[in-house]
Chains A and B, each alone.
Chain A
Amino acid sequence: MELANIENLLEKYENGETSLIEEATLKNYFSNEDVASHLEDYKAMFTYFNSNKEERFTKTIPLKRKQPNFWWLSIAASVVLMVSIYVSSNTGTETITLEERKEAAQALKHTQEAFQLISQNLNKGGNVAIAGLGEFEKAQQKVFKTE
């Protein structure tokens, strides 16, 4: 490629008038070792453009974003729930034996008797208190002389 031709192309290049083919010609020319010394600056430009095109994206592209998986957690939770229900239902039926039932009935009987006793005494006390109230009324009438 003649030097004059290259210079002509460079002028067009700076005006944004070169076609892609012409620009490829320029890139090709400047990738050679020997370039006219007054065109060194252009060489830097085209060398840079060429080398930049070599740059590659090296990481992977994940199409699905990594999200914390919670499905196993739900399974674990349901297992725990089932086990706890199983255990609690088992302990519920096994531990109450016939003897214990009798004992419980006896305890209930004793408690009821005790309550009965208390309520009788409370009734007694209540009657006495109400009778006492009448006395109080009389005393009040004496003091204030109402009617």
Chain B
Amino acid sequence: MKQTEFLNTVLPLKDKVYRLAKRLLVSRDEAEDATQELYFKLWKNKKKLKEYKNVEAFAMTMTKNYCLDQLKAKRSNNLTLVHSNYKDGNISLQKEMELKDSVSKVHELIAELPEKQKVIIQLRDVENYEFEEIGKILDLQPTAVRVALSRARKTIREQLTKQHNYGIS
């Protein structure tokens, strides 16, 4: 695989790789480092890359495995989540504030899910992969993916409703 071919097939995946890495590793710096490391690995294995029918699935599998390894390595001193993507633009609107709070709450709720569910939520609800593709990436049956996804979605929604009813946003 030549450099241009490599760049054309694998480089467009960089945002997806990065987002999945960030979903699992939480911190932005770590996700960036992981993405660079993964591309370096992919480039080193470019000869093997040709043999895979689905390069995208292969790259995503590699991302998942790499990040889980990273997590295992530093399980003890995990970084705490600081989320600041949702800066308030219009403070006067109480309702908008509430929505923003609950949007960042979604982020926290996903972070509390088991790793498998995190990855599945990311791949389906953010990246819009088909169940078959997710199954290939995670080496799972499509029905197993469906079950885990349903569980994750229900958990998030139920937690949101709970918070909403308590009036804690």
Contact = CB atoms under 8 A, between A and B. Distances in A.
Contacts of A13: 153
Contacts of A61: 11, 14, 35-36, 39
A51 B146 contact: no
A43 B102 CA distance: 9
A57 B157 contact: no
Contact of A57 (B35, B86, B145, B161): B35
B131 to A, nearest CB: 8
A98 B69 CA distance: 78
A42 B40 CA distance: 39
Interface of A: 13-17, 20, 23-24, 40-45, 47-49, 51-53, 55-57, 59, 61-63, 65
Chain A interface mostly: helix
A23 B128 contact: yes
Interface in B89-128: 98-99, 102-107, 125-128
Nearest to A44: B102
A44 B103 contact: yes
Given A41-B161, A49-B126, A61-B14, A16 B102 contact: no
B5 interface: no
B64 interface: no
B3 interface: yes
A60 to B, nearest CB: 8
A53 B126 contact: yes
Interface in B133-169: 145-147, 149-150, 153-154, 156-157, 160-161, 164
A63 to B, nearest CB: 5
B40 A65 contact: yes
B99 A40 contact: yes
Contacts of A15: 150
10 contacts: A14-B150, A16-B145, A40-B164, A41-B102, A45-B106, A48-B106, A48-B107, A49-B126, A52-B107, A61-B35
Contacts of A62: 36, 40
B128 A20 contact: yes
Contact of B147 (A16, A20, A43): A16
A45 B6 CA distance: 35
B40 A63 contact: yes
Contacts of B35: 57, 59, 61
B156 A45 contact: yes
Contacts of A45: 106, 125, 153, 156-157, 160
